[in-house]
Amino acid sequence: VRGSGGSIFALGDAALVRHDRTEPFAEQLFKAADLNGNGELDLLELRELFIGAADAFPQLEDYAAYLKEVVEVPTEDDSRMAKIAKIFEESFEREKLAFRKALSLTSQMVGDRTKRTAKEAVAAEVDQVLEHDKASMNLEEFRRLLVGIDKNLQHFPPTAQIAAQQGKYLAGLLSEGVIDGTQESYAKTMGSKPGFSYFHKGSLAYLGGGSAAFDLPIIGAVTGPAAGVVWKLYETSAQLSLKNAALVGLDW
């Protein structure tokens, strides 16, 4: 639980797992990007900041992509080489996004739970902050932009599937025997452990009359009697003992 120093843990319906917001780091990010120290960020500085910080704050990715497209970086290189470099850069970005999308099918981090923002919406947000056709923004305007960006953060849905995986993850942390309720022990444990990742196994629901519906990654939605058979097989195999599995299977 945030603010507990590693002494209180929550999971399932009692917890919302959310990635770090950018707004609390507004001043730190602003100072890092304000290279000339004039107290203002122009679009080029904002572009470089968002590109560099997108790995730490995934909610910045769509904004970084928009600024890369509309803000040109001044260069003395041959214009033909610059165009070639841009083509390779765009190709690399597409491969990177495709890889992350494929990876999220099996292992989804909370940072992946970010609502995508269309370029038009990004442009509107930036223009709204840059009032009166200004070419730069001050700290308060920058902070206002980050507040809007953080609204794209999403948390994991409160389902039993997620709660079960969170329980296993937390049990693994506590089994290390290092966490003792202090911030130091928590930081030491998390420094050597990856963050929680969610493996979506699909959704399954019984509809009655021998029919069911399930939604699996890649495959998509399936409904009807065949899905009902799958539901019965899953519920039977999910029992903790052979006795219970036999009783459930015979009860269909």
Alpha helices in the chain (DSSP H): 26-33, 43-53, 61-70, 79-104, 119-129, 139-150, 160-175, 183-191, 225-237, 242-251
**How many CA atoms does the CB half-sphere of 87 hold within 13 Å?**
6
pTM of the model: 0.61
**pLDDT computed for residue 41 by the predictor:** 92
C-alpha–C-alpha distance, residues 235 and 237, integer Å = 6
**pLDDT computed for residue 145 by the predictor:** 93
CA 22 to chain centre: 13
pLDDT tens-digit readout, 172-215: 888 887 888 888 888 888 777 777 777 777 778 888 888 988 87
Q: What does DSSP assign to residue 25?
A: G
**pLDDT computed for residue 2 by the predictor:** 74
137 φ/ψ sector (left φ>0, alpha ψ -120 to 50, else beta): beta
Mean pLDDT for back-to-back runs of 10 residues, the chain (252 residues): 78 73 91 91 92 87 89 64 56 60 57 76 87 80 93 80 87 84 82 77 81 77 86 84 85 74
